[in-house]
Structure 1
Amino acid sequence: MTHIKLLLLGSFQALAGGNAITQIPTDKVRALWAYLAVEAARPHRRESLATLFWPDWSDADAKRNLRQSLHRLRHLLDTAVPHSSDTLLLITRQTIQLNPTAFYLDTTHFQALLREVEQHRHHHLHRCPSCMARLEQAAELVRGEFLAGLILPDAPFFDEWLAIQRERLHSQHLHLLHALSAAYLAQGDPARAYEYGARQVALEPWREEAHRQMMLALVRQERPSEALAQYATCCHILQTTLGLAPTAETVQLAAAIEAGTAALHALTPAPLHHFPTYFTPFWGREEEFAHIAAELGRGSCQLLTLVGSGGMGKTRLAVTAATRFAQQGFAPDGLFFIPLAEVSTPSAVHLAIAQAVGLALMAVTDVSAELITFLHGKELLLVLDNFEQLADTSAWVQDWLTALPTLRLLITSRQPLHLPAESCLVVDGLAYPPTNSAEVGTNWPAVALFNQCAAQMRPDFAPHGQEEAIGRICQLVGGMPLALEMAATWVRLLTCAQIADQIATNLDLLVSNWPDTPDRHHSIRAIFQQTWAMLTPATQRLWAQLGVFAGGFGQEAAVAIAHASAENLAALTAQAILRGGARSRYEMHPLLRQFALANLGDDLLAHEQHARYYLTQLAGHEAAFYGEQAAEVRGRFVPDLDNVRQAWRWAAAHGAADLLQMSQRAFGRLWRQLGLYQEGIALLAEASHAMQASAPATAAHLHYREAIFHLDLKQYDLSRQRLEAAEAYWHSTAEQFHRLEAIANLGIIAWRCGQFEQAHHQLQHSLFLAHQTHHTKMVAYIQQHLGNLAWSQGDVPTAQSYLEQSLSLYRAQGNLYRQAGNLNDLGAVYSVGRGELSEGATYFAAALALYRQLGNELGQTLPLGNLGYIALIRADYATARQLFEEERVIGERLGVAGVLMNTLVNLGLTALLEPAPPNEPAALAQVHRQLVAGLKMATAVQEQQVMADALMCLVATAVRQRQWETAVRLASGTAAHFLLLDGLEKQLYDAAVAQLRPLPHFATLWEQGATQTLPELLKSTKYE
Structure 2
Amino acid sequence: MPRLSLSLLGGFSVRVNGEPFDDFATDKIRALLAYLAVEADRAHPRAVLATLLWPDYGDSDAMRNLRQSLYRLRLALDGRAPDLFGQTIEVTRQSVTLHSAAVDVDLRHFEKDLDLVAAHGHVALSGCSSCLGRMEKAVDHYIGEFLAGFHVEDADPFVEWQTIQRERTHQRALTALQDLALAFGARSDYARMRDFATRQVTLEPWREEAHQQVMQALALDGRRSEALAQYERCCEVLVRELGVEPATETTELYQAIRGGSLKAPPPPSVHEAEPDASTVALHNFPLFFTPILGREDETAQVLAFLAQPSTRLVTLLGEGGSGKTRLSVHTAQQLAETANDDFADGVYFVPLAAVTQPDLILSALASALALQLHERSPARTQVLDFLRQKRMLLVFDNFEHVIEGVALLQDVLEQAAGVRLLVTSRVPLNVLGEQRFRVGGLTHAGEDDPQPATLAAFLAYSGHRLFVQAARLVQPGFTPSPTEQRAIIAICRLVQGMPLALEIAATWVRLMDAAAIEQEIRRGLDFLTTPMRNLPDRHRSMRAVFDYSWQRLSASEQRTLAQLSVFRGDFTLEALLAVSDGGAVDAANLLDWALLQRVGGQRYVLHELLRQYAEEQLQQTPALAEETAQRHSSYFLDLMAREEAKLYGPALPQVQAQLRQSMDNIRQAWRWAASHGQVESLARSASGLSQLLSVAGYWQEGESLLSAVVGGGQAIEAAKAVACGAEEIRPFSCWLAVQHARFLLALGKLDRAQEVLPAALAGLDGSWRAHALTLQVDLLRMRGEYDDGLASSEEALAIFRRLKDRNGEAQALNRIGQIFWLRADYAQALDYQQQALRLEQAMDHPRGVAQCLSSIGLIHYKQSQYEEALTSHAQALTVARALGNRGDVARHLSNIGVVHIDRGEHAQASAYYEEALSIDRELGNRLGVAIRQTNLGMIYWNGGEFERGLAATEEAHAILVAIGHRSGEAITLGNMGVILWRMGEPTQALTRHGAALALDEDLGNWDCVARHLSNIGIVHADEGRYDEAMTVYTRAMTVHEKLNIPFHRCELLVRKARLHLLREEVDEARRLNEEGLAVAVQVGRADTLFEGRLLAARLAALTDPAAARQILDELATTTQRADAQADVLFERWRLLGDAEAAAAALERYEAAYAQVPDARYRRRMDVLGNLAASRRPLPSPHRR
Give the TM-score taking structure 2 as reference length.
0.44
Deviations 1:884-938 (A, max 9, x none): 5666677788898976886677566556654788777477788778767766665
Q: Secondary structure of 1:408's partner?
A: coil
For residues 696 and 418 of structure 1, the distance between their equivalents in structure 2, rounded to whole angstroms, comes to 66
Confirm whether residue 253 of structure 1 aligns to residue 303 of structure 2.
Answer: no
For structure 2, the residue ranges without an aligned partner over 5 or more in a row are: 1-6, 24-136, 146-169, 199-261, 297-316, 339-436, 471-484, 504-534, 712-722, 947-978, 1070-1184
Structure 1 pair 182/859, CA: closer, same or farther in 2 (3 Å)? closer
Q: Secondary structure of 1:618's partner?
A: helix
Give the TM-score taking structure 1 as reference length.
0.50
Q: 1:820, CA displacement in angstroms?
A: 2.3
1:601 counterpart (614, 622, 625)? 622
Aligned to 1:230: none
Aligned to 1:41: none
Q: 1:643, CA displacement in angstroms?
A: 0.7
Q: 1:208, CA displacement in angstroms?
A: 7.9
Alignment check: 8 A CA contact 2:824 2:1046 kept? no
Structure 1 pair 993/322, CA: closer, same or farther in 2 (3 Å)? same
For residues 584 and 921 of structure 2, the distance between their equivalents in structure 1, rounded to whole angstroms, comes to 44
1:723 counterpart (727, 733, 757)? 757
1:739 counterpart (765, 769, 777)? 769
Aligned to 1:815: 845
Aligned to 1:782: 812
Alignment check: 8 A CA contact 1:901 1:937 kept? no
For residues 963 and 890 of structure 1, the distance between their equivalents in structure 2, rounded to whole angstroms, comes to 46
Confirm whether residue 766 of structure 1 aligns to residue 796 of structure 2.
Answer: yes
Alignment check: 8 A CA contact 1:763 1:786 kept? yes
Q: Which moved more, 1:917-926 or 1:636-645?
A: 917-926
Alignment check: 8 A CA contact 2:735 2:760 kept? yes
> What does 1:817-966 correspond to in 2, within 5 Å?
817-833=847-863, 835-856=864-885, 859-860=888-889, 862-884=891-913, 910=939, 913-914=942-943, 921=983, 938=1000, 941-953=1003-1015, 955-956=1017-1018
Percent identity reads: 21
For residues 841 and 1045 of structure 2, the distance between their equivalents in structure 1, rounded to whole angstroms, comes to 31
Aligned to 1:972: 1034
Aligned to 2:480: none
Aligned to 2:740: 706
Q: Secondary structure of 1:627's partner?
A: coil
Structure 1 pair 896/988, CA: closer, same or farther in 2 (3 Å)? farther
For residues 464 and 849 of structure 2, the distance between their equivalents in structure 1, rounded to whole angstroms, comes to 58
Q: 1:874, CA displacement in angstroms?
A: 0.9
Q: 1:608, CA displacement in angstroms?
A: 2.5
Amino acid at match of 2:580: A
Deviations 1:695-754 (A, max 9, x none): 333223322322322333343343344433343223xxxx43433333343344333322
Aligned to 1:346: none
1:801 counterpart (831, 837, 842)? 831
Q: 1:809, CA displacement in angstroms?
A: 0.9
Alignment check: 8 A CA contact 2:854 2:872 kept? yes
Q: 1:545, CA displacement in angstroms?
A: 1.4
Aligned to 2:290: 291
Q: 1:839, CA displacement in angstroms?
A: 0.7
Q: Secondary structure of 1:682's partner?
A: helix
For residues 551 and 627 of structure 1, the distance between their equivalents in structure 2, rounded to whole angstroms, comes to 27
Q: 1:140, CA displacement in angstroms?
A: 7.5
Amino acid at match of 1:644: I
Aligned to 1:551: 569
Structure 1 pair 419/21, CA: closer, same or farther in 2 (3 Å)? farther
For residues 651 and 825 of structure 2, the distance between their equivalents in structure 1, rounded to whole angstroms, comes to 36
Confirm whether residue 642 of structure 1 aligns to residue 664 of structure 2.
Answer: yes
For residues 313 and 141 of structure 1, the distance between their equivalents in structure 2, rounded to whole angstroms, comes to 35
Q: 1:808, CA displacement in angstroms?
A: 0.6
Amino acid at match of 2:460: R
Structure 1 pair 206/816, CA: closer, same or farther in 2 (3 Å)? closer
For residues 859 and 941 of structure 1, the distance between their equivalents in structure 2, rounded to whole angstroms, comes to 27
Q: Secondary structure of 1:783's partner?
A: helix
1:660 counterpart (682, 685, 696)? 682
For residues 631 and 1053 of structure 2, the distance between their equivalents in structure 1, rounded to whole angstroms, comes to 65
Alignment check: 8 A CA contact 2:293 2:466 kept? no
For residues 932 and 295 of structure 1, the distance between their equivalents in structure 2, rounded to whole angstroms, comes to 71
Deviations 1:536-588 (A, max 9, x none): 54553333212211234355533443366899779878999767766654242
Q: 1:798, CA displacement in angstroms?
A: 1.7
Confirm whether residue 408 of structure 1 aligns to residue 460 of structure 2.
Answer: yes
2:608 counterpart (588, 595, 599)? 588
Q: 1:974, CA displacement in angstroms?
A: 2.3
> What does 1:432-471 correspond to in 2, within 5 Å?
none
Deviations 1:951-986 (A, max 9, x none): 545555666677766544443332222347466x77
1:679 counterpart (694, 701, 708)? 701
Alignment check: 8 A CA contact 1:545 1:600 kept? no
> What does 1:251-330 correspond to in 2, within 5 Å?
253-254=267-268, 286=287, 289-293=288-292, 311-317=319-325, 319-320=327-328, 323=331
Amino acid at match of 1:945: D
Structure 1 pair 714/986, CA: closer, same or farther in 2 (3 Å)? same
Q: 1:947, CA displacement in angstroms?
A: 4.2
For residues 882 and 196 of structure 2, the distance between their equivalents in structure 1, rounded to whole angstroms, comes to 60
Aligned to 2:782: 752
Aligned to 1:419: 487
Deviations 1:331-368 (A, max 9, x none): xxxxxxxxxxxxxxxxxxxxxxxxxxxxxxxxxxxxxx
Confirm whether residue 632 of structure 1 aligns to residue 654 of structure 2.
Answer: yes
Structure 1 pair 887/934, CA: closer, same or farther in 2 (3 Å)? farther
Deviations 1:611-654 (A, max 9, x none): 23322332332122122232332222223212111112223344
Structure 1 pair 827/929, CA: closer, same or farther in 2 (3 Å)? farther
2:731 counterpart (675, 697, 712)? 697
Alignment check: 8 A CA contact 2:693 2:702 kept? yes
Alignment check: 8 A CA contact 1:614 1:647 kept? yes
Structure 1 pair 761/638, CA: closer, same or farther in 2 (3 Å)? closer
For residues 776 and 172 of structure 2, the distance between their equivalents in structure 1, rounded to whole angstroms, comes to 75
For residues 661 and 813 of structure 1, the distance between their equivalents in structure 2, rounded to whole angstroms, comes to 25
For residues 595 and 557 of structure 2, the distance between their equivalents in structure 1, rounded to whole angstroms, comes to 11
Alignment check: 8 A CA contact 1:687 1:699 kept? no
Alignment check: 8 A CA contact 2:557 2:582 kept? no
Q: Which moved more, 1:403-412 or 1:702-711?
A: 403-412
Amino acid at match of 1:832: K
Alignment check: 8 A CA contact 1:310 1:528 kept? no
Alignment check: 8 A CA contact 1:561 1:613 kept? yes
For residues 486 and 659 of structure 2, the distance between their equivalents in structure 1, rounded to whole angstroms, comes to 34
Q: Secondary structure of 2:451's partner?
A: helix
For residues 182 and 143 of structure 1, the distance between their equivalents in structure 2, rounded to whole angstroms, comes to 10
Structure 1 pair 429/402, CA: closer, same or farther in 2 (3 Å)? closer
Q: Secondary structure of 1:290's partner?
A: coil
Q: 1:812, CA displacement in angstroms?
A: 1.0
Aligned to 2:152: none
For structure 1, the residue ranges without an aligned partner over 5 or more in a row are: 1-6, 24-135, 145-178, 185-190, 214-247, 269-280, 298-308, 331-382, 431-516, 1007-1024
> What does 1:147-166 correspond to in 2, within 5 Å?
none
Q: Secondary structure of 2:462's partner?
A: strand
For residues 1005 and 418 of structure 1, the distance between their equivalents in structure 2, rounded to whole angstroms, comes to 101
Structure 1 pair 406/636, CA: closer, same or farther in 2 (3 Å)? closer
Aligned to 1:399: 451
Amino acid at match of 1:405: A
Q: Secondary structure of 2:824's partner?
A: coil
Aligned to 2:203: none
Q: Secondary structure of 2:461's partner?
A: strand
> What does 1:151-230 correspond to in 2, within 5 Å?
193-194=178-179, 207=192
- Work out the number of aligned pairs and report it: 638
Q: 1:846, CA displacement in angstroms?
A: 2.2
Q: Secondary structure of 2:1004's partner?
A: coil
Q: 1:996, CA displacement in angstroms?
A: 4.0
Amino acid at match of 1:799: A
